[in-house]
Amino acid sequence: MPHSVKGATLLIVNDTPKNIQVLGKILSTEGYNIHVAQNGLQAIERAKKVIPDLILLDVMMPGLDGFETCEQLKRIPSLQEIPIIFLTAKTESDDVVKGFDLGAVDYVTKPFHAPELLARVHTHLQLRYEIEARKKREQQIQEELEEARHIQQNIVPLQLPQLPNAQLVCKFAPMARIGGDFYNIFNLGNGKYVIMIADVSGHGIPAALVASLISGAFTNNAGTENSTEMVVHAINAYLSDLLPPRFFSTMFYGIYDSQNHLFQYTSAGHPDGLVIRTKTNDFYSLSTGGMVLGVVKNEMAQYKEKTFQLESGDKLLLYTDGIYEVTNAHEERLGKKGLNDFLQNHASLPISTLVDELYHYGLQFSGKDRYNDDVTLVGLEVLQ
């Protein structure tokens, strides 16, 4: 809907009283609030006091001409966004280009044609109001995104639990302020620890809302010693009736028993977990081949639980696909092979260093300072 320009404040800058009178008569018919300055210096001082919505500025004036006045007005922060329309009898292209280079938005030539003048003033006032309204909307969106970021931070652990004879690390990097990746790690009791990582389809606010929804469902179901398979089944049953068709989530849910180093896990369409056995330089892929969450009903979705016996020195790595789907300047993807090659060459690093190096390696591969997808890495190392 167009904004009303009635009552807008205009500043007329002209050294000829007759021109001021003509302009004032034309513009007053639209109900504008009109202020007048008769030279460049007076215009600058008057503009700083009244902060007009638009300035009509004569080019040919004694002392500071219109170009110099425009240049000085644009240096004042509070006046930089005010549209300036030049008034001139000169129509040479050089003058037109110079005015636009200095920040003017339009030209009106003398003698003034009332319908044209009013149309141009009205158009540029509308544009200014629309720009201001857009900036306010963008500011509101940024404020809401910042609030959403704080909310999303609450669905991931603020502090990782301290495990006996093991070290946990995590790298959580949404593409924007908020995203669809999330994870959860907490003490289940009896020496057991929940380790979960998930990735919602899409990015931004919609993905973050779905992530919050899934996180709540996970917390409600994983707070017991139910098998990982049962928990994933329950979450899928909940989501399949709730999520819109284009949304789904992958998940890798495991329970680490710190007493016997046994890791039980269930995957729901998530990238395979990986165990690096440093002692033998062997790599083990952890997968159960489950369906992504929220797409089909439980009777059609199949989930299984498997176990893996970890040993001293083993490193467990879980990740979202953003880490290996990163591309370089030649549109070449790092891919799972590139990921595995890196891990093969850095397998001896402590888990905290390995996770950090892997994250920065992806950025180095892309040649950018941020990923084009959410990236989450979770690592566990069984200490000697």
Predicted pLDDT of residue 91: 60
Predicted pLDDT of residue 292: 93
DSSP codes of every residue in 195-251: EEEEEESS-HHHHHHHHHHHHHHHHHHHSSS--HHHHHHHHHHHHHTTS-TT--EEE
What are the DSSP E strand ranges found in 248-367? 249-257, 262-268, 273-277, 282-286, 306-309, 314-319
Predicted pLDDT of residue 94: 65
Predicted pLDDT of residue 100: 87
Tokens of 360: 């920065």
Asked if 319 contacts 377 with a C-beta cutoff of 8 angstroms, the reply is: yes
pLDDT in tens, 126-158: 998 888 888 888 888 777 667 766 666 666 787
CA torsion through residues 105, 109, 111, 117, sign:
negative
Predicted pLDDT of residue 155: 65
Q: With cut-offs at 50, 70 and 90, classify the pLDDT of residue 181.
A: confident
pLDDT in tens, 241-290: 888 778 899 999 999 999 999 999 999 999 999 999 999 989 999 999 89
Q: What percent of the chain has pLDDT over 70?
A: 93
The C-alpha angle with vertex 318 and arms to 188 and 179, in degrees rounded to 5, equals 90
Structure-model confidence comparison of residues 131 and 343, the more confident one: 343
Rounded average pLDDT over 347-371: 94
Kindly report the average pLDDT of the chain as a whole number. 89
Predicted pLDDT of residue 225: 67
pLDDT in tens, 101-135: 888 999 888 888 899 999 999 999 999 888 888 88
pLDDT in tens, 27-37: 988 889 999 99
Q: What are the structural domains, with CATH classification, of the chain?
A: 9-144 (3.40.50.2300), 154-382 (3.60.40.10)
Predicted pLDDT of residue 373: 87
Structure-model confidence comparison of residues 341 and 92, the more confident one: 341
Which of 55-69, 77-91, 332-346 has the weakest average pLDDT? Answer: 77-91
Predicted pLDDT of residue 214: 86
Residue 81 has pLDDT above 80, yes or no: yes
Asked if 256 contacts 193 with a C-beta cutoff of 8 angstroms, the reply is: yes
Predicted pLDDT of residue 53: 94
Name beta bridge partners: 277: 282, 314
Q: What percent of the chain has pLDDT over 90?
A: 62
Predicted pLDDT of residue 201: 87
Rounded average pLDDT over 41-57: 95
Tokens of 381: 């190392």
Name beta bridge partners: 376: 172
Q: Is the pTM of this model over 0.85?
A: no
Structure-model confidence comparison of residues 75 and 6, the more confident one: 75
Residue 383 has pLDDT above 60, yes or no: yes
The C-alpha angle with vertex 295 and arms to 291 and 301, in degrees rounded to 5, equals 40
Beta-carbon neighbour count of residue 142 at 10 Å?
A: 11
pLDDT in tens, 282-321: 999 999 989 999 988 777 788 999 999 999 999 999 999 9
C-alpha 2: how far from chain center: 30
Asked if 87 contacts 58 with a C-beta cutoff of 8 angstroms, the reply is: yes
Q: For residue 108, what is the DSSP state?
A: E
